Amino acid sequence: MESNDNLLVLVELKRGYMQQCPRRSVLGGIGATMAAAVAGSTVAATDERATTASTTTDTTFDDLLAYLPSSIAQDSMVLTATNYDRLLEADQPHDPFPNVGTLDLEAEDISKSVHATSYTEEFTHPLKILAGPKLEVDTKSRETDSGLEYEFADFDDDDAVAGTDGDVIIVAADAETIDAAIDSNAEEADRLLDDESTLDAGLSAFEDSDARTVQIGDEQLMAPGEMDATPTYLSHAQTVLDVDTIEMSVGLEFEDESDITDELIESLEAEFAYAATTDEPTVDIDGTFVSTTVERDLAAERAVRDHDSPGHLRVDREIDFDDDYLEIELGRGDPTPVEDLTFEVGDEEYDRDIWADGHGKLEEGDTIVMDMDDVEPNLSIRLHHDHELGSSGSGTSLLSHFQFTSELDVDTGELVVTYLDDFPLDGDRVHLAAYDERPRYRPDEDAPEPRTTTQPWQGEELTEGTTATLDGIEPGDEIIVGWDGIEPSDGISNLRARPPGSARFEYDYENRTVEATLEFGERQPHAKPGVTAEANGDDETDTDDTERPADDYELLIDDEPAATQWADEYDTVSSGTTVKIDGVDVGTEIEVVWAGTDARIGWTRVRPSVQLEYDDGTVEHVGGDPLPASELTADVWTDADRFEMELADEIDGTFEKGETFTVDSDSVTTDTAANDEADELEFGEIREISLQYDAHRIGFVLPDR
């Protein structure tokens, strides 16, 4: 389905406004998002527009609505009609344009559209009608049941078909729906709005509007606030009044007048809280129909969108706690009156007389302050800017990370946690929690429960070197050091219960074998994603005399146990104990885990890497893996084309550090060029040379850099 269907746009933008305006209650937000809801998509507005709105443009949609057949009717559906020509006469911050999906159309060519969305069984787009453009794809003639002919296009790689009768383009999920649309327009089939009076009434609720949407049914209903009854229909509309003003309306039809409650009216009055308006919205009640209307102030909206709110709060890493105040620098922002700003510390509004520090306005480079006595670990601070479109904000956390380390005794399950920072911490507020998997930052009801929790430093002050012991810990457990809690958001440090040992890997590219070696000691290099197997063996470990049972460790090849394990060849392992695996292809993932819990000891992906340098036609290996030249191909890109070089033709044996080969585009033939007419081409300057090994790009050089 198309992700920017009108109602989906409304839903997503409503969520966006909720995130942008966390300090205001959201009662529905339809009014704030109507502009995008009827538009489908937006692009940046241009300066080439009329200074006054037209009064002659046809605002009716009868010509397009006639194509809607009754066969697409559903219990829960949305109809949207949009006059883009009219909407473009208003100077909106973003110009509205429809999404044309897979059709090769210029959105600017579409003058009007009508489309239907169904929610009854699943989310579908049964029909879309576009006026203005021509269908510029290969078509074939097709005939409807009533004998009417039209041009039809089937898109093999998409779930949509299209048709045109020369006046409009029709997009649907199947050919039969387009047949019905053609017949409906010719009055050879029943029309949707003739059979569905509720939809017809909803589309007519705001006559002469330039964009209108009606929704029936209770699926995905975007109605305001809490209601005791489901409306018969929900309608919203936009009408361009002049270049700087759009009238926005929301209406609901009910079965009974008693369904229109005071709470509903209050919700409607709040619908446009996040839109810049020229006046307060009005609410009208006509029997069982209730509506609200307001004028959208586009000039005010443009001013807000052009204004960069103060934010990007920055604090020096080294805080001097002997100072009276903490200075917080603003990394961005246009001049903004402080009375439009709110500073929150720990979700509580802070005293403006303190934080504004005498400023009348704030902009990029200015500083705000807070009392140093109020500074504490993991403290959230946030600066809000209240404006006509709601509120925007920028925040950060103070003292959100402290250094702790841990050491696990796998035989006893004891984990010793040591504090390494020199900042004193109140032990009554420090928590430890152990999870058997990494907890989610925003936990839900299915989030894992901690294996164990404790406050080991109650009544103490943590200073550098302070320790505590956690019992019942298993290798791989994730440890949160929390401030005032044990959730990930409370964390001031994260630790992992690491089993003893590390692994390094060495890969023989010629024989396609890998050697995995265990090491024990203070320095335990852990292979990192994206580095080569060879590189993982470059780190050295200050080894010790640790000895462990061989079956504590398991070697995995692409997540499956390797054919050879340490336990197959040894009873115990120590630093330097190695196993060798044959037949390992480039691209293979290799991992060593603690057998009892699958906690990772080391990991790599077999992928060589070569650093290249270029000098006047000569390419040199200056670092990385030595590789058999017979397995290497150089792809050379020039101004005109690309050609390949087999390094075996240039180098005997191994391509290793110090070896070179020469690139000469003048010697290219049709055997090596990508273009069959290479002999007739002038390749020009070389732009890039990349090295390929077993279909993997392992190095490149850009001669002009």
Of 279 and 38, the structure prediction assigns the larger pLDDT to 279
SS (H, E, C) 220-260: CCCCCCCCCCCCCEEEEEEEEEECCEEEEEEEEECCCHHHC
Residue 414 CA to residue 475 CA, distance in Å, equals 10
Confidence bin at 17 (pLDDT 50/70/90): very low
Cα-to-chain-centroid distance, residue 510: 42
Which range is most confident: 12-16, 369-373, 614-618? 369-373
In 3D space, the residue among 460, 396, 468, 398 whose CA is nearest the CA of residue 433 turns out to be 468
Q: What pLDDT was estimated at residue 209?
A: 94
Strands 94-97 and 41-44, sheet pairing: antiparallel
pLDDT at 29: 40
- In angstroms, the first-to-last Cα distance of the chain is 44
Across the strands, what pairs with 297? 245
HSE of 537, CA atoms in CB hemisphere, 13 A: 17
How far are the Cα atoms of 112, 127, 600 from residue 179, in angstroms, in the given order?
A: 21, 11, 60
pLDDT band at residue 158, thresholds of 50, 70 and 90?
low
- Which among 528, 502, 480, 515 is positioned nearest to 594, based on CA atoms? 502
Spatial contact of 428 and 405, defined as CB atoms under 8 Å apart: no
Residue among 413, 454, 405, 406 at smallest CA distance from 597: 413
pLDDT band at 102 (very low <50, low <70, confident <90, very high): low
Kindly tell me if the per-residue pLDDT of 361 is higher than 90. Answer: yes
pLDDT in the model for residue 104: 76
Q: Report the share of the chain in percent with pLDDT over 70.
A: 82
Measured between alpha carbons, how far is residue 566 from residues 6, 51, 383, 632 in Å?
A: 60, 80, 57, 34
**Alpha-carbon span 141 to 501, nearest angstrom:** 72
**What was the pLDDT predicted at 274?**
67
Residue 350 has pLDDT above 70, yes or no: yes
Residue 516 near residue 601 (C-beta atoms within 8 A) = no
With a pLDDT cut of 90, the percent of the chain lying above it is 60
Tell me the pLDDT tens digit for each residue of 672-681. Answer: 454 444 444 4
For the ranges 17-21, 126-130, 289-293, the lowest mean pLDDT is seen at 17-21
Bridge partner residues of 382 (DSSP): 344, 395
Q: How confident is the model at residue 92 (pLDDT cuts 50, 70, 90)?
A: confident
Tokens encoding 256:
């009974």
pLDDT surpasses 70 at 527:
no
pLDDT tens across 376-428, in order?
Answer: 999 999 999 988 777 889 999 999 999 999 999 999 999 999 999 989 999 99
CA distances from 514 to 555, 579, 694 (A): 11, 8, 17
Res 257: pLDDT: 93
Q: Is the pLDDT confidence value at 13 over 70?
A: no
Q: How far apart are CA 154 and CA 103, in angstroms?
A: 11
- The answer for 630, left when phi > 0, alpha when psi is -120 to 50, beta otherwise, is alpha
Count of residues making up the chain: 705
| Averaged pLDDT, 622-628 | 92
Q: How many CB atoms lie within 10 A of CB 159?
A: 11
Of the candidates 253, 200, 246, the residue with the CA atom closest to the CA atom of residue 231: 253
pLDDT of residue 446: 67
Tokens standing for residue 679: 């002999």
β-sheet bridge partners, residue 654: 628
CB contact set of 376 (below 8 Å; sequence gap of 6+)? 398, 399
Tokens of 437: 């998997």
Residue 348 has pLDDT above 60, yes or no: yes
Contact indicator for 147, 183 with CB cutoff of 8 Å:
no
Q: Among 20-34, 442-456, 550-564, 679-693, which stretch is predicted with the lowest mean pLDDT?
A: 20-34
From the centroid of its chain, how far is CA 506? Answer: 37
The pLDDT value given to residue 225: 60
Place of tokens 């200073």: 463
What CATH number belongs to 610-701? 2.60.60
pLDDT at 656 over 80: yes
Which long-range contacts does 347-356 make (Cβ < 8 Å, 24+ apart)? 347/380
Q: Which residues contact 661 (CB under 8 A, 6 or more apart)?
A: 618, 619, 634, 645, 647, 650, 651, 655
Widest pairwise Cα distance in the chain: 92
Domain map (residue ranges) of the chain = 6-299, 308-398, 404-496, 502-605, 610-701
**pLDDT for the residue 223:** 64
- Rounded CA-CA distance 115/125 in Å is 8
Strand partners for 602: 592
pLDDT band at 53 (very low <50, low <70, confident <90, very high): very low
Q: Which range, of 237-246, 271-280, 440-449, 494-503, averages the lowest pLDDT?
A: 440-449
Residue 157 pLDDT level (bands cut at 50, 70, 90): low
Return the higher-pLDDT residue of 342 and 100.
Answer: 342
Give me the pLDDT at residue 596, please.
Answer: 85
Which has more confidence, 180 or 48?
180
Reply yes or no on whether the pLDDT at 8 is more than 80. no
Round the average pLDDT of the chain to a whole number and report it.
84
Given a cut of 90, whether residue 212 has pLDDT beyond it is yes
Which among 476, 474, 479 is positioned nearest to 414, based on CA atoms?
474
- Coil vs helix vs strand at 131: strand
Alpha carbons 430 and 408: distance in angstroms, whole number? 20
What is the third-level CATH fold of 308-398?
Answer: Immunoglobulin-like (2.60.40)
Report the SS3 class of residue 603.
strand
pLDDT at position 451 over 80:
yes
Q: Name the burial class of residue 399, with classes exposed (0-12), middle (13-18) and buried (19+) by CB atoms within 10 angstroms of its CB.
A: middle
What is the arithmetic mean of pLDDT over 94-111? 79
Tell me what pLDDT residue 696 has: 86
CA angle at residue 494 from 492 to 496, to 5 degrees?
160
The mean pLDDT value for 658-686 works out to 64
Per-residue confidence at 443, pLDDT binned at 50, 70, 90? low
Q: What is the pLDDT of residue 441?
A: 62
Is residue 150 pLDDT above 80, yes or no? yes
Q: Which residues contact residue 545 at a Cβ distance below 8 angstroms, ignoring those fewer than 6 apart? A: 574, 575
Q: pLDDT digit string (tens) for 258-310?
A: 999 888 888 888 777 667 787 888 899 999 999 999 998 998 888 888 899 99
Average pLDDT in the 132-138 region? 88
Bigger pLDDT: 506 vs 681: 506
